[in-house]
Structure 1
Amino acid sequence: MSLIALLFVAQAATASMPSTPAATSAATAEVPARITRLLQRYPVIDGHNDLAWEIRDRHDGKVEQVDLMRDTSTLPYPLQTDIPRLRRGGVGGQFWSVWIPAATTGPRAVEMTLEQIDIVRRVAAANPDAFALVTTAAEARAAQKAGRIASMIGIEGGHQIDGRLSVLRQMKELGVGYMTLTHGKSLSWADSSTDAPRANGLTDFGRSVVAEMNRIGMIVDVSHVSDATMAAVLDVTKAPVIASHSGARAVADVPRNIPDNLLARIGQAGGVVMVNVYPAFVSEEWRAWDRKRSEFGKAQGLATDVYGPKAPAPLVAWDAANPMPHVTAANVADHVEHIARIAGKGAVGIGGDYDGIGGTAPADMTGVDGYPRLFAELARRGWTDAELGALAQGNVLRVMERVEAVAASQKAIKPVNATATD
């Protein structure tokens, strides 16, 4: 048995199990080895990871001083991602987010995005045996075959192109594979799910952005956008879309999650919703707890985005008196299964949002090594190897290939120099 398999078996043996008698059945005991084999054959292609920002923000952008070959959970500013945990988690492909704050706009947004792309490229260059920068589905498959983690780039917000299609095209030239149309703030041309609308869907420029992304082969990402904007995108796109890190609103009623009617449309159009693990979007109970915690902390003038023993002492005391709701892989699996029921099992993938979730994660999925527990939970619920393989990577690879084909069919179309007007 390989070292990776041995590490996984040891990890899986410590996973929390259901409390019912069925949990001790022979079938349950066989799941870990099956999942190990499955993820060796079909490693996860994860749609969203914010490691680049954490290196910038928590480690002063010093890529070469953050040793990703070691356990980064023990650093003074812990991370949820490192190479050993990616390997244990069965991750064979990663879209690295080059997020910047939504409040950063104009030329500075473009500059900061370039700086974030530089961090991703330096991470790959510092770890050439582990990471391979790729831009196509074929290259991703080749990287996996060579034992490397296919590394792709995603822009997390249309503010990062400063309202210019020319900038969008240059981001594609730099290897950007997708763009999330908005983040937490609405733009003049597209609306965020967590801000007042400005475009009421998509403006003419917003539709030009989608058309140009189709033309150049960049995936349209509809995580974070409003329902009206998502519907408008699905009205005009010629290629399937992804939601790189979202959940099902019917399971957790959160604006960032996707309602059933739009889940169905994404599935019908050949797209994929990549399920995230952030408890704030996974569990309504956790979200309510966190809201009360934030209200208490803000009343005390405290930062509320730190959890656990490193939080300010009054918050540590509040946490002891108000225990955090228990969120596990089973809760994440509920979102996967709901999306599969509404949109089809070909329309669901994985987009954890690790290192973008404030130091919180499901109790048994605390870092990128937690994915096997999600797959084991789904296996217990009856998912076949073929279905799990599609969830892990097959569905998103299909989207990538279709986006590439749509772009190839539009090679004769000339670029347009449209700009947004605020």
Structure 2
Amino acid sequence: MKVEPWARSNWSHTDLPRLKKGMVGAQFWSAYVPCGAQYLDAVQLTLEQIDLIKRLAELNPDHLSLVTSVKGVQETHRAGRIASLIGVEGGHSLGNSLAVLRTFYSLGARYMTITHTCDTAWADCSVGDQGASTSSEEHNPGLSEFGKAVVREMNRLGMMVDLSHASVSTMKDALSVSKAPVIFSHSSAFSLCNSTRNVPDDVLKLVALNGGIVMVNFYTYFITCNSTATIADVVDHINHIREVAGLEHVGIGAGYDGINHTPQGLEDVSKYPHLFATLMEDPRWSEEEVKRLAGLNLLRVFREVEQVREKWRLAAVMPVEELIPVNYLEGHTDCMYLGS
């Protein structure tokens, strides 16, 4: 990116030349809006982000293709283009509406992060694990009954449930409810860096039982808990998750363009080959295993999520019509019609 002000920004890690240099085959683009938009215009802003992602792919058809399925990822990769997928980062984007969830799916979103850095009325975020939760007192920590309905509806749709940013209680509740594998789109190992944004070992074991995946984040404060880190530190997190959860349950979720401190040697998306080359120097890793880490594990999860969707479709499982109790929204309804 040569256009100011992003050329020298610490937050700029992604552009087409660097994606090509990094040999990126597929990328999730995050439809993210700040938590301050909750109970205000979060839904509209998220729709605008989805529109932007779609236009980005349409403006660069020689390089990017918007895809919504495992088949689409594979076909686009074979065609030599970068498969572009949409993720919605933060349950506050739903406006507490399952109809909005279905709309996001129809527009191409294939995962949703249950929470971001704020609680919703139906799910607690990782901030709550620091004793600063602002969630409703109307439900216990974790997922409310409406939150569990969100997870079930995501299963029915074929949308991946993302537990990065969730509290441990929310993680465990979602893992107990979901009939499809879950993902942690950008989290690391709590045992190596005790950030509440990372995944504890007991949850890693539950992820393995669920069939899900933890995709390692490159933000230095999630890797070493300070402002500096190296490729070796990232490898330590990958190896730890592999040892606790298993090879099939670890992936890469760098968080580029959403972080401002990156490890030495992994400064942007062009550096992925450096990470894989480092792993290939380790006798514990074979070429086939590195391929799984690089993307095959996520495709396996995505495929199994699609299979759950098809089973529920054949079983004629109907859309969930549940509404969130209005008392969960007390104090937040001034800008909403019927408290929806």
TM-score, normalising length from structure 2? 0.89
Q: Deviations over 1:244-285 (max 9, x none)?
A: 00000001111100000001110121101011101011112x
Work out whether residues 93 and 151 of structure 1, in 8 Å CA contact, stay in contact via their aligned partners in 2: yes
Distance (whole Å) between structure 2 residues aligned to residue 99 and residue 264 of structure 1:
29
Please state if 1:93 is matched with 2:34.
no
Distance (whole Å) between structure 1 residues aligned to residue 322 and residue 286 of structure 2:
47
Distance (whole Å) between structure 1 residues aligned to residue 43 and residue 121 of structure 2:
17
The corresponding residue for 1:108 is: 41
Distance (whole Å) between structure 1 residues aligned to residue 263 and residue 52 of structure 2:
27
5+ long unaligned stretches in structure 2: 329-340
Higher relative contact order (CA 8 A, sep 6+): 1
72 and 124 in structure 1: CA distance in 2 versus 1, 3 angstrom threshold: farther
Please state if 1:227 is matched with 2:168.
yes
Distance (whole Å) between structure 2 residues aligned to residue 178 and residue 264 of structure 1:
22
C-alpha displacement at 1:72, in angstroms? 8.3
The corresponding residue for 2:62 is: 129
Matches within 5 A, 1:212-361: 212-284=153-225, 286=226, 325=228, 327-358=229-260, 360-361=261-262
State which of 394, 399, 407 in structure 1 corresponds to 2:296.
Answer: 394
C-alpha displacement at 1:77, in angstroms? 4.7
State which of 415, 419, 422 in structure 1 corresponds to 2:319.
Answer: 415
The corresponding residue for 1:7 is: none
5+ long unaligned stretches in structure 1: 1-67, 288-324
Work out whether residues 71 and 84 of structure 1, in 8 Å CA contact, stay in contact via their aligned partners in 2: no
SS of the residue aligned with 2:19? helix
SS of the residue aligned with 1:410? helix
C-alpha displacement at 1:71, in angstroms? 8.5
SS of the residue aligned with 1:91? coil
Quick one: which amino acid aligns to residue 75 of structure 1? A
71 and 271 in structure 1: CA distance in 2 versus 1, 3 angstrom threshold: farther
C-alpha displacement at 1:420, in angstroms? 2.2
The corresponding residue for 1:26 is: none
Please state if 1:405 is matched with 2:324.
no
Distance (whole Å) between structure 2 residues aligned to residue 391 and residue 148 of structure 1:
20
Please state if 1:75 is matched with 2:7.
yes
Quick one: which amino acid aligns to residue 251 of structure 2? G
C-alpha displacement at 1:352, in angstroms? 0.8
Distance (whole Å) between structure 2 residues aligned to residue 363 and residue 399 of structure 1:
30
SS of the residue aligned with 1:177? strand
Please state if 1:191 is matched with 2:124.
yes
Q: Deviations over 1:184-223 (max 9, x none)?
A: 0111211101131634111110100000000010000000
Work out whether residues 164 and 417 of structure 1, in 8 Å CA contact, stay in contact via their aligned partners in 2: no
C-alpha displacement at 1:354, in angstroms? 0.4
Distance (whole Å) between structure 1 residues aligned to residue 47 and residue 6 of structure 2:
29
Distance (whole Å) between structure 1 residues aligned to residue 307 and residue 6 of structure 2:
44
Q: Deviations over 1:280-319 (max 9, x none)?
A: 11112x15xxxxxxxxxxxxxxxxxxxxxxxxxxxxxxxx
The corresponding residue for 1:378 is: 279
Distance (whole Å) between structure 2 residues aligned to residue 77 and residue 124 of structure 1:
23
Quick one: which amino acid aligns to residue 165 of structure 2? H
Distance (whole Å) between structure 2 residues aligned to residue 239 and residue 72 of structure 1:
43
265 and 72 in structure 1: CA distance in 2 versus 1, 3 angstrom threshold: farther
SS of the residue aligned with 2:195? coil
Percent pairwise identity:
44
C-alpha displacement at 1:418, in angstroms? 1.9
Q: Deviations over 1:340-369 (max 9, x none)?
A: 0000010001111001002x2112111111
